[in-house]
Amino acid sequence: MRVRIGGVLDDALALMAIFETIAIGQLVLYPFSFYTVGSFAWYQAQAFRWLVPLSPLMLVLLLYSWVAILALSASRRRSVRINSFVRAFSQTVKRLDTQGSSAEKFVVLQHPRLLLIIAMAVAALLGVLPYWPGLNPGGSIVGTDTSSYINWTTQMLVRPFPQAISYAFSQGDSGFRPLPLIIFYSIASLGVSPQITVEFSPIILGPLLSLSLFFFVKAGFGNKGAAAISAFAGCFSFNLTVGIWAGYLANWMAMIIAYFFLAGFFLFERSRQRNLFPPLFLLSLALLLTHPWTWAMILATTFVYAIMGSGDQRRLLTVSSVILILGGMVVDFTKNLVTGGATLAADLGTKAPVFGILQFWMFWPNLWTALTVFYDGLLGNAVLLGLGALSFAAIKLRGGGARMLSSWVACTSVPFALLNAFHQTRLIYDLPIPALVALETLWLMSRAGGGNLRAALILLVILLSSANYAVGSIIQA
User: 249-271 vs 178-188: helix axis angle to the nearest 10?
Assistant: 110
Write down the pTM of the prediction: 0.93
Closest CA to 202 of 259, 133, 237, 249: 249
User: Would you state the pLDDT for residue 399?
Assistant: 67
* Residue pair 59/372 in contact by the 8 Å Cβ criterion: no
Task: State the pLDDT at residue 103.
Answer: 39
Give Dmax (Cα) for the chain. Answer: 76
Nearest alpha-carbon partner for 394 in 448, 462, 464, 456? 448
Per-residue pLDDT reduced to its tens digit, 353-411: 888 899 999 999 999 999 999 999 999 999 999 999 988 766 655 567 889 999 999 99
d(C-alpha 168, C-alpha 31), whole Å: 38
DSSP state of 189: T
In contact, 461 and 21? CB cutoff 8 Å: no
**Residues of the chain below pLDDT 50:** 1-2, 85-86, 89-90, 92-104
Long-range contacts formed by 8-14: CB under 8 A, 24+ apart: 9/448, 9/450, 9/454, 10/450, 10/453, 10/454, 10/457, 13/454, 13/457, 13/458, 13/460, 13/461, 14/457
Predicted confidence at residue 274, as pLDDT, reads: 84
pLDDT of residue 78: 59
Strand-pair partners of 473: none
How far apart are alpha carbons 471 and 475 in whole angstroms?
6
Phi, psi of 74 (to 5 degrees): -65, -40
pLDDT in the model for residue 100: 39
The model's pLDDT over 430-440, given as tens digits with 9 standing for 90+, comes to: 999 999 999 99
104: three-class secondary structure by DSSP:
coil
pLDDT score of 340: 82
Distance between CA atoms of residues 13 and 460, nearest Å: 9
